[in-house]
Amino acid sequence: MKINVLPPAVYNKIAAGEVVDRPYSVVKELVENAIDAGATEIKVEIEGGGKRLIRVTDNGSGMGKGDLPLAYSSHATSKLYSADDLFSIRTLGFRGEAIASVAAVSRMEIVSRTQEGDAYSLACEGGALGEVRPAAGAKGTVVTVEDLFYNVPARLKFLKSDAQEEADIGGVMARFLLSRPQISFEYIAGGKVKYRSFGDGLQAALAAVYGAETIGNCIEIDAEKHGIRLRGFLGSRNFYKANRTYQSLFVNGRYVVNQTVGAAVTNAYASYLMKRQYPFYVLFLDIPPEAVDVNVHPNKADVRFADNQVVYGCVYSVVSAVLDGNSRALEYLVNAPAAASASPVEPAVPAAPAQKPMQDSFFAPSAPKSEGGGMSYAEAKKELAFDVAIPKEDVRFLEDAPVRMEVRQPSAAPAAERQTPAAFSAPAEDVFAENKRLLSEQSAKLRQERVDPAALEYKGELFRTYLIYEAGDTAYFVDQHAAHERILFNRLQAAMDARAVRSQPMLVPFVLSLNGQEFAFLEKNFGVLHELGFEVEEFGDASVRVTAVPADLKDVDLAAFFGEVLSSMESLRAIRLADILKDKLATAACKAAVKGGETLTLDEVRALLQEMDGDTGMKCPHGRPAVVRMKKSEFEKLFKRIV
């Protein structure tokens, strides 16, 4: 076997597979470089969802003529000088892989100028460098990326639609606006300005991303415990979202998705939110660099804490205190009220927090306990007692159940029992004969569950809920609500399957405000919604307007309806939306059906029996039986007439 040393053109494409998987990751890397260069103004322009064009312009420190070729080199960076620097990283970028990786799979050009020098440009096509040339330009850098993945068609084929890619880039830019509120950002997609901020603080950035009304529904906090500072905005107890795209966590200024912090916040909200309701938050966790490892994933999407338990305890205790409104919350609220207790439900519009110095007690075992929260790491670990132990390295976040932290233990089974089973041998019986037998049994069961409606004699009702019929030696008890619910559901489903759903125009259109990812998901499914009877159209950059609904769903709560659809947005991308909407039709049928406790007239009883068409095996759409049969012999056993 001969070992080959891969040329740069090959290993840069391999690196691009991890660092640059989609257009949003290109934008992320380029904007991080601009921030690290000290830029105060950053402009991002994209075309075709970032596939055709990405341009990032900044007014940072710029690069000189001699640095331009080095910028395209692998593992070339101005942010690290030794391996020890990995343990105290304070910049967003540090690996030196991004530019080389992007240049290997695109047509790229960098134009840069330092404060004192002249402007120069250097182009690179598919990893092949051109020549450094004089150029015109202001102080800073302009990076242009065109035709992303033009030379890797396999990768290009698996990119998402332009709308979805644009939405994901919008999500990245929203996080930049929030994480760097002192920087002026402008994000333009397809010639339209999507986001614009002016570097005038976190409140203004929050309003630019989520709207000014969001601030009135949030609580601003600034807390410090055990050398860890937690600041930002928490949604009040009555302010929740349908999915997690409204949750932002920044660890030392870097946006991450961290399971430990996510679980702590979710657990703190657990008693205030129902299933499929998610808290809104924009939180900044400032922690000494030596207590967190950012060199975990190539795209720096997660971090690893030196001790998850201390971080979990700090976040949980602060968030739960603020939500519960106890006396400790006064220490954490920005502009806390003068009254003895704070109300987190209707917070006042907060002002920008005063800057607090970071304490360095996280790794100080001998440091004394202080009033300002400077408890030593050892004391903090002893004080934080939880019902379930939180592991240091292996944490799992359970999304839809009440969140628990659990350790995955190695299997206790012997190695032999964990071996892959032997190859499965084909059954001796013909598989087609087996299928034929099962179909025959199902057909026989259906015949047994049907009865001629004319043979059923109505005997009355029980508890104004159960209709009683008799036929021969059998009594039938019909749950009027379950039976009617099934009938209505079958009618709605048949109309939907036949595409015969009628639409009813709304007097006042319903407008739904969304973020970029939610809008892209709904836009992709406009066709399905139209077929179901909804008239939905784009209304502004990130909103939709509903002008008509299915006639059978004219009383539907549209806010709750679309909230439920969007609550599982991530998984729904792989599922037909029509399957989800059928569940909503079942809910509509349940609400429209006659209720238990309502008295039916004889005509209504006859009509219901006629609609059932003798189906005694009927179940409601949620699985409850609509009919219960009892033989005469079963009654006689109850009264001890027979044994």
Task: Report whether pLDDT(347) > 90.
Answer: no
- Residue 13: band (very low, low, confident or very high) from pLDDT cuts 50, 70, 90: low
Averaged pLDDT, 464-476: 93
Which range is least confidently modeled, 78-92, 226-240, 358-372, 457-471? 358-372
Which residue has 């619910």 as its token pair? 485
- Ordered by start, the domain boundaries in the chain are 8-196, 217-335+353-383, 453-643
Q: What pLDDT is attached to residue 440? A: 62
pLDDT digits (tens, 9 = 90+) for 204-253: 999 999 988 999 999 999 999 888 999 999 999 989 898 888 999 999 88
Distance CA 85, CA 80 (A): 6
pLDDT digits (tens, 9 = 90+) for 52-65: 999 999 999 999 99
Whole-number average pLDDT of the chain:
78
Distance CA 90, CA 65 (A): 27
Task: Report whether pLDDT(546) > 80.
Answer: yes
Question: In one letter, which amino acid is 566?
Answer: L
Distance CA 588, CA 487 (A): 12
* Long-range contact pairs involving 532-535 (C-beta distance under 8 Å, separation at least 24): 532/496, 532/501, 532/578, 532/581, 533/501, 533/502, 533/503, 534/503, 535/503, 535/505
Residue bearing the bigger pLDDT, 386 or 74: 74
Q: Is 426 helix (H, G, I), strand (E, B) or coil?
A: coil
Class for the domain spanning 8-196: alpha beta
**Extended strands (E) in 324-465:** 457-462
Q: What pLDDT is attached to residue 473? A: 92
Distance CA 605, CA 458 (A): 9
Are the C-beta atoms of 249 and 230 separated by less than 8 Å? no
CA 506 to chain centroid: 31
Are the C-beta atoms of 512 and 537 separated by less than 8 Å? no
pLDDT digits (tens, 9 = 90+) for 393-436: 333 332 333 333 333 333 444 444 434 334 334 444 555 566 66
SS3 for 362-400 is CCCCCCCCCCCCCCCHHHHHHHCCCCCCCCCCCCCCCCC
Are the C-beta atoms of 120 and 134 separated by less than 8 Å? yes
Which range is least confidently modeled, 10-19, 111-120, 406-415? 406-415
User: Phi and psi at residue 29, in whole multiples of 5°?
Assistant: -65, -40
- Residue 499: band (very low, low, confident or very high) from pLDDT cuts 50, 70, 90: low
User: Phi and psi at residue 188, in whole multiples of 5°?
Assistant: -120, 125
How do strand 247-251 and strand 281-286 relate by DSSP bridges? Answer: parallel
Q: Is 254 helix (H, G, I), strand (E, B) or coil?
A: strand
Q: What pLDDT is attached to residue 622? A: 82
Q: Residues near 399 by Cβ (< 8 Å), separated by ≥ 6?
A: none
Distance CA 70, CA 76 (A): 6
Q: What is the CB neighbour count within 10 angstroms for residue 413?
A: 8
* CATH architecture for the domain at 217-335+353-383: 2-Layer Sandwich (3.30)
- Please choose, from the candidates 444, 443, 446, 490, the residue with its C-alpha nearest in 3D space to the C-alpha of residue 593: 490
Q: What pLDDT is attached to residue 178? A: 96
Are the C-beta atoms of 542 and 523 separated by less than 8 Å? no
The domain defined by 453-643 carries CATH number 3.90.1200.10? no
Token pair of 407, please? 């350790």
Which residue has 């379930």 as its token pair? 388
Q: Residues near 338 by Cβ (< 8 Å), separated by ≥ 6?
A: none
